[in-house]
Amino acid sequence: MTLELLHSPLLADPVDVVMRGYQVMAPAPRLTMAAWADGRIVLSPKVSPEPGPIRLARIPYAVEVLNCTSDPRTREVTGMWAAQVAKTTVFVDIPTAFFMHQDPSRQAVYLEDEKKQHVWSTTRLMEMITNTPDLAGLLSQKGGPDSKNTLEYKEYPGGRLSILNSGSEGDLASMSQRIVNKDELDKWRMLKAGDPDALADKRAQNSFNKKIINVSTPRDHNPDQKIFSRITVKYEASDKRKYYVPCPFCNHEQVLREEQVKFVGRVGDDLEDAKYECEKCKMQISHMHKKRMLERGRWIAEKPFKGHAGFWLNALYSPWITWKEYGEAKIKMVRQHDTHKTFQNEWRALPWNPLIEHDKDISPYLARREYYEKVPLRAMTHLFSYADIQKDRIEVIAIALGMARELWGIEHKIFWGEPALSSKGYLPQVWQDLEAWRQKTWEHESGETCRIARLFIDMSYLTSEVLRFCRGKRPLVWPARGMSDINSRHPFISTRPVIDKKGRYKYYQVGPNEGKDIVFANLAVEPPKHTPPLQGEGAGGDGFVSTPGYMHFNQNFDEEFFKQLLASEVGRWKKGIYVYEKISPATRNEGLDLVVGALAAFESTGTDPRPHVEALLRLWEKRQKEANPEYVQQEEPKAEPHAPRKKNWVYGWKK
Ligand SMILES: [Zn+2]
């Protein structure tokens, strides 16, 4: 690597430093850290995927980090890095060697615990010292390697190195240091004496030319719950640099993001390949381009530099991980809570917010969609519906219900147009579209006709428009309002509407949190083992046993709908009440609201589907017989024992 390549705007040229008026009392090092380390430091096969003299051309993103670390203007360096991008080599090993040989200093390296302290000292440090000729000589100059040098302490001309344990209060109260290097900071445990991070920093407070190096993969971080990832806080306080690489096709510089990794030929958990899609020109970039992209990349800071340089890097930048390997790791790891957390921290290099549940994989739900042209035989002909009013559209769903809350999604529709009253005081066209849809009919498999028996309309937004639309349509159409839980859980639904405080209108109150409990529990119900035959031989029999709570969806429900249904909200305890909240304010969750609202519309009628469904089955059998005279009557359906009807029987099926 040539020196031009190593040029950085922060590169310390001693003359430059003096000219700019910085107070630099010690002579500046002759070489920058990257120029010094490249080809000189020898890595052990025990710690590096590429042992031998280090070649920074393989990890071009390391150059600016190293040069920034040796720059006298830098007082603090923070690395929030993924696990497989040479993090320890760049932030701990090379700086330690540099401050032994090139800019000899009093320095301390703090490791997470005693075990890591010893492993780092014996494998990483000593192997590097033994294999790197310039370093090996340093320690032996002090009358043989064993004279003053122990596992935890090394001396060299001009300085000394303490290798310390962040879990030991004694180690944190040790001598003053110029360089304090803190490895895996987010794994450090709190001590009786306080936060070991602050105690370690104190060791450097008396040095005019101190340098603090923080490095870690991030861990948990959620300011709402007073959980802080130290490395996230430090990165936020730094100048926040990210590594931009140019697209090989359009040269657009971009930060590598997981969303742009596109799977090619997925079979189960394995991929045939994965490509990186340029965020600008949308070209599919093969892994073979990565090397060149990294070489041409550069760090761009979000904030002005004030002595604290911060670097963030995820595993997509790793020269040792292909995009295919990244994609496969993601598929396997985001499935479960523990591995998803590891993936978030060590691959994405992002803190884990304990509120985020693991990504709900919607693919099984997409795969289990069915295809029904007519409303299935085991459902009532009464359909139930819920309309959600948005600024630019009305979203609506129609569902059918069978016994024991078995549910079929029949149709999901979006009517585009602003629902707010026009300047002349008319309801805009989008309301007429909704009304035309409400009047439509669907065919039932028995030959009967299905209609919407009750439509709830969310009145929390554009209340007067909703009330105007509902006028004169009772009991088929009702305004409904979701009740937030402040002191106690609001019941899902009652069979009676309430009157508003001023006695102007009636509406239904819906307890969305209880409704979401029901929907999430039902979404977890396993699909029926076999599809019941409905015609010819074998019809009847166990074909009509319901799957309590199971939710069927038709092919016309799309991926976006399932994302909004399954992955938009998360449950948490708040002041003793279990509530659901959007994962982020921008998340769209209409899918979930629609299903909950339509289920509430059904339950508000207090209907027992059993007699309806049984009557439909008898009708269907009669019609079958008429159509096919040879049709043989099968045994009576083996229906489940009829649950005694309670006052609020609908809740009996909850779990
Ligand atoms: Zn491009």
Q: Are 163 and 288 within one domain?
A: yes
Q: How confident is the model at residue 27, as a pLDDT?
A: 55
Which ranges in 2-132 belong to alpha helices (H)? 14-19, 33-37, 62-70, 87-88, 94-101, 114-119, 126-131
Distance 254 CA to ligand 1 centre (A): 9
Domain-embedded: residue 9: no
Q: Are 465 and 343 within one domain?
A: no
Which ranges in 368-483 belong to alpha helices (H)? 429-439, 463-470
The pairing of strands 179-183 and 211-216 is parallel
Domain-embedded: residue 7: no
Distance 283 CA to ligand 1 centre (A): 6
N-to-C CA span, the chain: 65
170, with CB counted inside 10 A (0-12, 13-18, 19+), is exposed
Distance 249 CA to ligand 1 centre (A): 5
| Confidence band, pLDDT 50/70/90 cuts, at residue 14 | very low
Domain-embedded: residue 1: no
Q: What is the pTM of this model?
A: 0.58
Q: Are 331 and 401 within one domain?
A: no
Domain-embedded: residue 653: no
Cβ-contact 511, 488 below 8 angstroms: no
Q: Does residue 313 surpass a pLDDT of 50?
A: yes
Q: How is residue 252 written in tokens?
A: 């657009």
Distance 282 CA to ligand 1 centre (A): 6
Q: Does residue 654 surpass a pLDDT of 80?
A: no
**Residue where a domain stops, chosen among 313, 347, 381:** 347
The DSSP line for 469-480 is HHTT-TTTEEEE
* Averaged pLDDT, 516-522: 87
Distance 248 CA to ligand 1 centre (A): 7
Q: Are 296 and 423 within one domain?
A: no
Q: Does residue 309 surpass a pLDDT of 50?
A: yes
Distance 584 CA to ligand 1 centre (A): 29
Distance 13 CA to ligand 1 centre (A): 36
Main-chain dihedrals φ then ψ at residue 592, nearest 5 degrees = -70, -45
Task: Give the chain's radius of gyration (CA, Å).
Answer: 33
Distance 289 CA to ligand 1 centre (A): 12
Distance 243 CA to ligand 1 centre (A): 16
Q: Are 112 and 180 within one domain?
A: yes
Distance 14 CA to ligand 1 centre (A): 40
Q: Are 397 and 314 within one domain?
A: no
Q: Does residue 271 surpass a pLDDT of 50?
A: yes
Distance 160 CA to ligand 1 centre (A): 49
- Per residue in 603-640, pLDDT tens? 999 999 999 999 999 999 888 888 877 655 555 454 44
The pairing of strands 382-389 and 449-458 is parallel
Q: What DSSP state is assigned to residue 107?
A: E
Q: Report which secondary-structure segment, H or E, holds 604.
A: helix 590-604
307, with CB counted inside 10 A (0-12, 13-18, 19+), is exposed
Domain-embedded: residue 500: yes
Q: Does residue 146 surpass a pLDDT of 70?
A: no
Tokens 């809350």 belong to residue: 405
Q: How is residue 446 written in tokens?
A: 């028995």
Distance 253 CA to ligand 1 centre (A): 8
Look at 177 and 13; give whichever has higher pLDDT. 177
Cα separation, 34 vs 32, in Å, equals 6
Domain-embedded: residue 312: yes
Q: Are 240 and 182 within one domain?
A: yes
Distance 80 CA to ligand 1 centre (A): 27
**In which domain, by residue range, is 601 found?**
368-530+547-629
**Residue where a domain stops, chosen among 347, 378, 402:** 347
164, with CB counted inside 10 A (0-12, 13-18, 19+), is buried
Distance 236 CA to ligand 1 centre (A): 29
My answer on whether omega of the bond before 14 falls inside 30° of 0, hence cis, is: no
Q: Are 408 and 517 within one domain?
A: yes
Distance 321 CA to ligand 1 centre (A): 21
* Averaged pLDDT, 433-452: 95
Distance 58 CA to ligand 1 centre (A): 23
* Averaged pLDDT, 31-52: 91
486, with CB counted inside 10 A (0-12, 13-18, 19+), is exposed
The pairing of strands 52-53 and 498-499 is unpaired
Domain-embedded: residue 640: no
Distance 277 CA to ligand 1 centre (A): 8
Q: Does residue 601 surpass a pLDDT of 90?
A: yes
Q: How confident is the model at residue 41, as a pLDDT?
A: 96
Look at 145 and 434; give whichever has higher pLDDT. 434
Q: Are 380 and 518 within one domain?
A: yes
Q: Report which secondary-structure segment, H or E, holds 654.
A: none
Cβ-contact 149, 139 below 8 angstroms: yes
Distance 95 CA to ligand 1 centre (A): 36
Closest Cα to residue 151, out of 140, 161, 136, 143? 161
Q: What DSSP state is assigned to residue 576?
A: T
Using DSSP's 3-state secondary structure scheme, residue 92 falls into helix
Distance 143 CA to ligand 1 centre (A): 59
Distance 296 CA to ligand 1 centre (A): 14
Cβ-contact 314, 79 below 8 angstroms: no
The pairing of strands 270-277 and 284-285 is antiparallel
Q: Does residue 18 surpass a pLDDT of 60?
A: no
Q: Report which secondary-structure segment, H or E, holds 211.
A: strand 211-216
Distance 610 CA to ligand 1 centre (A): 59
Distance 275 CA to ligand 1 centre (A): 13
- Per residue in 203-244, pLDDT tens? 888 888 999 999 999 999 877 778 899 999 999 999 999 999
Distance 252 CA to ligand 1 centre (A): 6
Distance 623 CA to ligand 1 centre (A): 62
Distance 563 CA to ligand 1 centre (A): 28
- Per residue in 54-109, pLDDT tens? 999 999 999 999 999 999 999 999 999 999 999 999 999 999 999 999 999 999 99
Q: Are 339 and 390 within one domain?
A: no
Distance 280 CA to ligand 1 centre (A): 5
Q: What is the number of other CB atoms lying within 10 angstroms of the CB of residue 503?
A: 7
Distance 333 CA to ligand 1 centre (A): 29
- Say which CATH number the domain at 594 has: 3.30.420
Domain count along the chain = 2
Q: Are 411 and 523 within one domain?
A: yes
DSSP percent split of the chain into helix, strand, coil, nearest 5: 35, 25, 45
Distance 168 CA to ligand 1 centre (A): 51
Q: Are 308 and 394 within one domain?
A: no
17-21, 137-141, 422-426, 546-550: the lowest-pLDDT one: 17-21
Distance 284 CA to ligand 1 centre (A): 9
Q: Mean pLDDT over all residues of the chain?
A: 85
**Residue where a domain stops, chosen among 302, 318, 347:** 347
Maximum Cα interatomic distance, the chain, rounded to a whole number of Å: 108
Distance 279 CA to ligand 1 centre (A): 7
Domain-embedded: residue 474: yes
Distance 262 CA to ligand 1 centre (A): 14
